[in-house]
Structure 1
Amino acid sequence: MKYSLMLAGAATAISVQANPSISPQPLSFRTTLTVNTAKRYQTMIGGGCSGAFGAACQTNSLSTADQQTVVKALFDENLGALSILRNIIGSSTGATILSECPATPAGPFNYSFPTSSNDSCQLTLAQNALQYNPDLFLYADAWSAPGCFKTTGQEAGGGYLCGVRGSNCTEDWREAYANYLIEYVKLYEQRGIKVSMLGAYNEPDFNPFTYSAMLSDGYQAYDFLSVLYPMVKRTFPNLAVSCCDSTGARQQRDLLYELGRLGGLNMFDINTYHNYQSDIKVPFEDLLHSQPTIETEWSDGGSTWTPTWDISGNNFEGLQWAIYMHNAFRNNVAGWSHWWCAWSGGDAALVNVNGDSYQIAARLWAFSSYFRFARPGAVRIYAETNVEDLYITAWMNTNSTIAIPVVNAAHYTYTLDVQLYGSKVSHAVAYLTDNEHNVTVDNEFIFKEGRFTAQIEPRAMKTFFLDF
């Protein structure tokens, strides 16, 4: 069969003969990857998930052995390698540490640990996670102050903390709320659990109407953080204070800008945001005083469970999550947390529990491909290539080992010619994650003078772990 093509401005027809016996050769490309330990960026805090709103209880339907297996899969440094666990400081009936609210900020305040289900199973989850990660970074975060501390008198459905500008309350409850947050930390430490970070807000730019929530802009955050921060440091000098878990990176920038206009950028230790309404486009550094940044919640999936790595292109497949994390890290984010650790149905969790069975999402192996090898305390170092469909970072651990996670978004193989400067590592192990592999050892080799060559498969993630 012949096809005739007429060139514009030419009178001659060109005939092209199709040859069905010729099939295209598989594509394969080569690129150079340069890594340099002398140029350094943020320090890794880690990856995480949450047991809030009863999510920590979701695995109770599993056998005792399977419950332990799930926690191990999430937090063991040789498996999921998560190191951050985010607790909700409950404000609803049965979940709060303050079961009866006093009439005035003068008290009395009768605090007690929410023993029902062991703080909605959050204490149990923390205790179990510590078995596999003794350095667990526990983030205790409040969605709302108790209702009697707020303009609405209700802990759900928004409202403002009494005492901040615009609240127009007869009493100032800011110090009471600070004490309430600190008391939660004390109750956990009395049970042998160290809290690493304390937060007073969750999505203060969003009023869901139906569950625990409290609103705040940056100016109102200043009014409260100016009370909370010195109180925390007097009681727990090493406890980090967060600000302020906005719904997106752009929303967090707006809050930080307002906070900074009042001189409040020294009233928190870690910048925290969510990834729902906007992802990070530029680093936060211009709005901070050198604080690290953590993305502390995201999973905007629907009711359809997505366990796969790369089948449909769904936003919640593992490959896509690897790229989301890469983009955050390249913008100097120091940690990335999923929403729930486990739940029944939907993409809001890393583990789907269905009665007495469970399934792990491939998203967990994207987490593992970063956090198993770039451990807390690792520093991101310079890593560049000149191709657009490879996503590459590099991290140097505190013991001078190096992790190079590479995501190949192309539908063809890449050969990587790696040139490493400033390190004497000479041994490499490659760990592959794709539709058939979950952080599986793929290759091991010795190299000299900082140079090695390796391949990465299509639509895959491969982490090169380099040691001596």
Structure 2
Amino acid sequence: MLLSLLYAAPVAAAIANQITVDVRQKFQKMDGFGASEAFQRANQIKGTFGPGPYISPDNRTKVLDWLFDPHKGAGLTILRNGIGSSPNNTADHMVSIEPVSPGSPHTKPHYVWTGDDNGQVWLSKEAYKRGVRTFYADAWSAPGYMKTNNTDDWGGRLCGVTNGHCETGDWRQAFANYLVQYLKFYKEEGITVTHIGHLNEPDISVSYASMLADGIQTKDFLEVLYPTLHREGFGNVKVAAGEATGWRQSGDILSDLVSTGGEQFYDFFTSHGYQDEPRLPFDTPKPVWQTEWADLSGGWTTDWDTFGQDGEGIQWANKIQEAIVISNCSAFLYWIGAENSGSNSPLIKINGTDIEVSKRLWGFAHFGRYVRPGAYRVSAESTNGVLHTSAYANADGSLTVLVINNGHYDAVTNFAVNGYKSFKKVTTWLTNNDHDITPGSARVGGRGSFEARIPQRSMMSFVIS
């Protein structure tokens, strides 16, 4: 009761504000929020990769709950699995389902399947138990023998695309068959892969699995993959395009795809946020996903808001909301959910048998828990520039309003809700330096309105049902 009054009661020093929500004005449909455990990170959670000591069983369960459970944790609803291309798992590489070349693109392939897929089959089943239904399988590269540089790392191009000549021939159909076989293996394990991509950051060449492609070369492969999926009974799997390191870089790929008629061969467009953040919408009618981003340079921190560093929780809450509101993203994925790391690349740090959760995860929780797949973003406007807001009409009939107070003062705020059914209760959830999704309630008025005090440098979710 005390906490509820703390949220609802105005104080003399606070400034009055207005947020207006209009459910009748709809924008993009939301697909969800997620993370990846590629490159043996799934096995780190499982406790079967690295020098040890390994994570304890109790902490393994906590990690899984914190990532995927919509009541105990962030409620992430998308798992991005890596499709392996390497002959072995040296240096955390992802093992290919066809590690040895068949000799030519026309020779019958010899696939190898252990039912594990670098720990990702186990992780997918655990995520499914906690409500995940969207599985995005993404290849960082084709196997090396299908590429111009004959290795799965250091870039190179897929044999058969424009400017991708190889003496061994055109491997586009073989790679399409490879991806289809991956889907078949997962289906045999009882897991439905819903989305698939054949590239990761095709604008850079790096020392791990990577494959270069511009928009024209992307189209060259997608025009083979797309009909292959439909022919093999996987026409319901959504095909990705883009996936470059930043918004501008992915935009260049999109321009090439449009100019060459390639838009017919993919279902959603993707980008990462590293080199260029999502500050503008892409000119496409397809859903847009931000599929990988993280603070890779900062040291590990659990802070919400202390020094204004890029890795702090409030910074990432703002990044997610801006990507949705400004760039019309339907999904937002962090790079790694949990790993053994001293950087901010994961949301949860595994340290031997111990674990530590960052405030970034609780920022994600406001979106993952209260903006469920199938929700529509609706109009939400604030009279105060430091109160960044967005609103969502969920498929279950509930309405969620998210507010980040970036100011250094508490903000007494009146909410006017238009076009929604009458309501008598608003549940609130608070995250800041002192709270991790702490429940409370707002003061409900008449005619579709309520009032709450939003503490400085905080995020609050308001759920109307």
Alignment partners' CA distance in 2, 1:121 and 1:457: 42
Alignment partners' CA distance in 2, 1:113 and 1:382: 48
1:33 and 2:26 aligned: no
Could you tell me which residue of structure 2 aligns to residue 416 of structure 1?
413
CA RMSD of aligned residues (A): 1.4
Could you tell me which residue of structure 1 aligns to residue 63 of structure 2?
70
Distance apart, 1:27 and its partner CA: 4.6
Could you tell me which residue of structure 2 aligns to residue 111 of structure 1?
111
What is the aligned counterpart of 1:44 among 2, 5, 30?
Answer: 30
1:356 and 2:356 aligned: no
Contact 1:292 1:334 in 2 (8 A): yes
What is the aligned counterpart of 1:125 among 116, 123, 126?
Answer: 123
1:307 and 2:307 aligned: no
Map Cα deviations across residues 130-149 of structure 1 (whole Å, 9 max, x no partner): 1111x421110000001111
After TM superposition, list the pairs within 5 Å mapping 1:308-347 onto structure 2: 308-330=303-325, 331-344=327-340, 345-347=342-344
After TM superposition, list the pairs within 5 Å mapping 1:350-429 onto structure 2: 350-426=347-423, 427-429=425-427
Could you tell me which residue of structure 2 aligns to residue 99 of structure 1?
99
Map Cα deviations across residues 47-75 of structure 1 (whole Å, 9 max, x no partner): 11111111112221112121111101110
Paired amino acid for 1:66: N
Any idea what SS the aligned residue of 2:295 has? coil
Contact 2:295 2:310 in 1 (8 A): no
Alignment partners' CA distance in 1, 2:291 and 2:374: 18
Map Cα deviations across residues 217-266 of structure 1 (whole Å, 9 max, x no partner): 00111111111111112221211001121101111111000111001112
Could you tell me which residue of structure 2 aligns to residue 13 of structure 1?
none
Contact 1:425 1:466 in 2 (8 A): no
Contact 1:198 1:242 in 2 (8 A): yes
Any idea what SS the aligned residue of 2:221 has? helix
Map Cα deviations across residues 254-311 of structure 1 (whole Å, 9 max, x no partner): 1000111001112111111100000112111x2x2x2111111111323611111111
TM-score, normalised on structure 1?
A: 0.91
Could you tell me which residue of structure 1 aligns to residue 146 of structure 2?
149
What is the aligned counterpart of 1:83 among 77, 82, 99?
Answer: 77
Distance apart, 1:129 and its partner CA: 1.1
Could you tell me which residue of structure 1 aligns to residue 159 of structure 2?
162
Alignment partners' CA distance in 2, 1:303 and 1:383: 33
Paired amino acid for 1:306: T
TM-score, normalised on structure 2?
A: 0.92
| Residue identity (%) | 37
1:240 and 2:233 aligned: no
Map Cα deviations across residues 131-188 of structure 1 (whole Å, 9 max, x no partner): 111x421110000001111101111110000110111223110000101111111101
Unaligned runs of 5+ in 1: 1-24
Alignment partners' CA distance in 1, 2:215 and 2:13: 52
Paired amino acid for 2:136: Y
Alignment partners' CA distance in 2, 1:342 and 1:245: 22
Alignment partners' CA distance in 1, 2:455 and 2:83: 44
Contact 1:401 1:425 in 2 (8 A): no
Report how many residues are paired: 436
Any idea what SS the aligned residue of 1:302 has? strand
Alignment partners' CA distance in 2, 1:315 and 1:26: 33
Greater CA radius of gyration, 1 or 2? 1
Map Cα deviations across residues 324-375 of structure 1 (whole Å, 9 max, x no partner): 0111011210111111111122111011011111001111111111121110
1:254 and 2:252 aligned: yes
Unaligned runs of 5+ in 2: 1-10, 48-53, 89-94
Contact 2:388 2:403 in 1 (8 A): yes
Any idea what SS the aligned residue of 1:372 has? helix
Alignment partners' CA distance in 2, 1:148 and 1:371: 40
Contact 1:204 1:216 in 2 (8 A): yes
Paired amino acid for 2:400: A
Deviates more, 1:94-103 or 1:25-34: 25-34
Any idea what SS the aligned residue of 1:119 has? coil
Contact 2:102 2:108 in 1 (8 A): yes
Distance apart, 1:446 and its partner CA: 4.1
Could you tell me which residue of structure 1 aligns to residue 40 of structure 2?
54
Alignment partners' CA distance in 2, 1:455 and 1:463: 12
Alignment partners' CA distance in 2, 1:300 and 1:164: 34
Distance apart, 1:440 and its partner CA: 0.8
Contact 2:19 2:413 in 1 (8 A): yes
Distance apart, 1:385 and its partner CA: 1.2
Alignment partners' CA distance in 2, 1:177 and 1:157: 18
1:462 and 2:460 aligned: yes
